[in-house]
Chains A and B, each alone.
Chain A
């Protein structure tokens, strides 16, 4: 059976440390845009840690929520793309084909999660910072939309390696950079079609919900809600 890649984000584990953010930058050749451009709202973070305050001092409470491309089944970004740069693969990935992208930015508007980022200018690396670039990942040029790919290069490498060695993929061995870096283990990645996989079991959790579920985009990322503390019954 084909894979269906998905993720579970455990908000109870997330500490907001942003290890995932830098890991993603390093893995996916995401450019830093500099202070001036960042001030104009052009910073690119395929994964970000949203924080929401509730209440006021001294009862203020904070929740962190890592948000990345939700890899929706009914992705609103896909249909609106005039050139098929955005479409669904048979493994459930919400593909972004850079060479096909003409930069209408319609997908980014259609995406209610705002997880798509646009190369307003050509990315620049002041030499020799370009030596840090991952040769397995494309460098996106100006005018091209980009977003989280679930580290498709890792998926492809792992599948290719498994095929060469004539074995099945092992659950947990293949991880996107963010999940791999996360110290608290808040991000769990895997194959939703494998009922034994950790991600499939966790996504059944009663704590689970989808972000902006009411829009019906059917994301493949399940958020496990943060829990409160209750006094244990027995000592």
Chain B
């Protein structure tokens, strides 16, 4: 007898069950007629583009039917609709090649995030206190249009500003068109890790304002100066695929990988050799290598071509960068440098890469130029196993304006599209204060973050799965890649694609744009794209050599003995992904930490300061301080401390608000002079233990649980 029959015998009928289940709200809710043809339980794969970083990986979304709670005509109910269930790399896409990184996988949660903005919002309380009220699209658009009308009417169209994340493609072009037609200045792109320095240097060296594609698969000797190319830098998926081939792609062939950086990054962990350098001296090592190569006559100075002539003293064999001198400046022994130089030139094709923290110094450009010249010297430019530049229809252009330009122009009306400068700029730069003084801010983002909380109006965008997407990556593949994809699923909420909103605004303006924008919808834009925005005039390829400049640091070494090395979190990247629970709970590969911030400290330093694992420490610069638990790591030198970027949002959904600490806020507002990008590795700090463990350090495993005498078992 089974349980069910047993109960029948005991005469408990199902009536009570039926009555009880009627009480569930799910059963009383209205069901709307599905708007699409779906075969239940059958998955369909739809292409899309991952929007989370600039790599532009093509993805495919697994769409299956499901019951979603929606509003139709203002009425709550449930409907069966196609829902994206999983994201995978698009096998047909030359960048992602069927693979996808952890962040890309988690992009799914952007659409289904419980704190996504579902309808337009208007600020009701004090600016920044987060009180908003729901308004209709009509009302919201009306308000935005009237604000623009007012400014245009007063002849102040130039006081309209647009701040977005660095994007390429038609969406960005449309924004440019819109602003130009309005008479407003060009849009401003802002991201913390925006690689402007690398692009600038590449333009100087090779005439391309672009990040390079690394042909790792065919490289036999790789020297990497701080670029986290397997984690967060440039096109990590494509680089990861190529890296796999570099390691075990051909039987019996395995490249050597040397990592030159002051702290072992996740990428550095895979290196065969870790060369510890002082922060900001990566270029010295590169030039030292070039010196040895030229001194030994392994390559002539002329082999480097223009990239070489840009470096002061190149033609003379860089006499000031003898191994002894490099040892003194960078801390790499002369013998090691000699050996590396010979290996580098002997076991080609060889490749040198620089990125990330190495360029986040005031001398970033000259560091990059040094590595470019080294690459050129060994013939690794546009050669198999070297760097190359992806041929694209619309090559990346130097931005016309920077955030600094935008702020200093004191705009009257600001449109923000997912950029979060309030989070990602040092507090000393006072960007937040400047934004607060802008009379009207409208935000298009899907979430209320540290910046959009200041907005007067929020016009929520579709998630990428709900809107047309495009991919025009600047690197990652050898050939040009360009794709557009229709929405993978219908919108869950009353959101509208930002390009459609701009087009709608342009139609509603009391003084029509001249010429009017020729499209009705974003879809039309993608089919008949605007002409590429004219690139800023290419910088005159000045042949005047650039002289080496030592990296300068904010804060004197006596008061602030440690270099603060912020780094992009493997999970949360620059913090724009801190709202995704999958990524919050992703153990950091180096420390296994989840849901928190931490400070990485060398064991020797920790002993000196009496800091144990999990103890709260305070990291103070001349511009402020943050507190976070300590993690003691053998992968960082005694003169540096490192902190991941990503946490420390004041406002950013239930998962990220008030969690952890943001090292960017305490940085000195030092910029790389040529590009105006933040030199985020150029701050010195002091360190103090301020208390015992407060429980905020959440480790999946590892650090707390490992004893030094048990490493590497297996």
Binding site for B on A (CB under 8 A): 10, 12-19, 21-23, 25-27, 32-35, 38-39, 43, 45, 48-58, 60-65, 126-135, 177, 180-186, 211-212, 223-224, 227-229, 231-232, 235
Contacts and interface: CB of A to CB of B under 8 A. Distances in A.
B582 A26 contact: yes
Given A15-B267, A63-B712, A129 B101 contact: no
Given A38-B585, A62-B269, A131-B112, A52 B712 contact: yes
Given A64-B589, A127-B114, A181-B100, 16 more contacts: A12-B248, A15-B243, A17-B266, A17-B589, A19-B102, A22-B106, A57-B636, A58-B637, A60-B264, A62-B269, A65-B714, A129-B114, A135-B66, A182-B99, A183-B237, A183-B239
B381 interface: no
Contact of B102 (A21, A53, A63, A127): A21
B68 A128 contact: yes
Contacts of B103: 22
A185 B114 contact: no
A61 B68 contact: no
B166 interface: no
Sorted nearest first, the 8 A-B pairs with minimum C-beta distance are A183-B240, A184-B244, A35-B595, A60-B634, A16-B589, A62-B269, A22-B105, A22-B102
Nearest to B591: A51
Contacts of B248: 10, 12-13, 224
Interface in B63-111: 64, 66, 68-69, 83-89, 98-106, 108-109, 111
Nearest to B636: A57
B165 interface: no
B85 A135 contact: yes
B518 interface: no
A21 B254 contact: no
Interface stretch (B194-202, B398-406, B694-702): B694-702
Contacts, number: 235
Interface residues of B, number: 92
A19 B241 CA distance: 12
24 contacts: A10-B248, A13-B243, A13-B244, A13-B248, A15-B231, A15-B267, A16-B590, A22-B106, A48-B587, A48-B701, A50-B701, A51-B269, A57-B634, A57-B635, A64-B269, A129-B109, A129-B114, A131-B111, A181-B89, A182-B99, A183-B99, A184-B243, A211-B714, A212-B714
B346 interface: yes
Contacts of A65: 714
B85 A228 contact: no
Contacts of A15: 230-231, 240, 243, 266-267, 269-270
A185 B241 CA distance: 7
Contact of A132 (B88, B108, B238, B635): B108
Contact of B585 (A19, A43, A51, A57): A43
B146 interface: no
A45 B346 CA distance: 44
B581 interface: yes
A45 B86 contact: no
B254 A227 contact: yes
Residue among B100, B585, B602, B659 with most chain A CB within 10 A:
B585
B659 A35 contact: yes
B603 interface: yes
A128 B69 contact: yes
B456 to A, nearest CB: 27
B347 A232 contact: yes
Contacts of B595: 34-35, 38-39
Contacts of B638: 57
Given A51-B590, A60-B634, A26 B86 contact: yes
B649 interface: no
Interface string B238-255: 111101110110000011
B634 A56 contact: yes
Contacts of B659: 35
Contacts of A229: 254-257, 272-273
A232 B349 CA distance: 13
Contact of A17 (B111, B236, B346, B592): B236
Contacts of A23: 88, 100, 102, 105
Nearest to B269: A62
Interface string B261-282: 0001011011011101000000
B483 interface: no
Given A131-B112, A133-B85, A135-B41, A39 B695 contact: yes
Given A15-B266, A60-B635, A52 B276 contact: no
B230 A52 contact: no
Contacts of A53: 634-635, 706, 711-712
A63 B270 CA distance: 7
Interface in B616-665: 634-638, 654, 659
A7 B85 CA distance: 25
B201 to A, nearest CB: 26
B119 interface: no
A205 B270 CA distance: 21
Given A15-B266, A39-B698, A51-B592, A32 B108 contact: no
Contacts of B551: none
